[in-house]
Amino acid sequence: MQIQSLYQEIILDHYRNPHHKGLREPFDAEVHHVNPTCGDEVTLRVTLKDADGDPVVADVSYDALGCSISQASASVMSDLVIGKPVGEAMRIAQEFLDLMQSKGEAAPDESTLEDAVAFAGVSKYPARIKCALLGWMAWKDATGRALDETTGHAS
């Protein structure tokens, strides 16, 4: 079945046992994103810490209702960005976005995307790309707000 290229075992594993799920305190910013076509939603919190003037993602916590692809993607995303400098995490997010827009043509780099390479097949299913991006977009939004927040406090 071609559907296995969409639902890779890694995706189903993350779906059944999502990492970092649940909302945690403290946090610097919280966002709520929805997918208006299906009503799927995610509430996501980001905590940043300062490492010699360089912001680092200290924690990402989330609560989400949605399909296997959106749930698994939020789990993989939090694995990838937690502990990384914000700049590097943003580059990974961009790489994932590029992969989603590749229509199945890209050869994803496992050294940066790790488990997220399993989502390469999603890019062949236009209706599901939004599902895979829901958590990532929420994280980018929350991180942007957290940066504003911390910069605001500094000034």
Q: Give kind and range of the element (H or E) at residue 104.
A: none
| Amino acid making up residue 58 | A
Count, residues near another protein per rule CB under 8 A = 19
The nearer residue to another protein, 6 or 81, going by C-beta atoms, is: 6
67 binds another protein (CB under 8 A): yes
38 binds another protein (CB under 8 A): yes
Question: Binding another protein by CB under 8 A: which of 129, 131, 132, 133?
Answer: 131
Q: Which two tokens stand for residue 113?
A: 């995307």
Instruction: Give the C-alpha separation, 118 to 5, whole Å.
Output: 8
Question: Binding another protein by CB under 8 A: which of 14, 45, 128, 140?
Answer: 128
Q: Which two tokens stand for residue 129?
A: 């790309």
The Cβ of residue 152 has, within 10 Å, a number of other Cβ atoms equal to: 8
**Residues that bind another protein in the complex, under the rule CB under 8 A:** 1-3, 6-7, 12, 16, 37-40, 65-69, 125, 128, 131
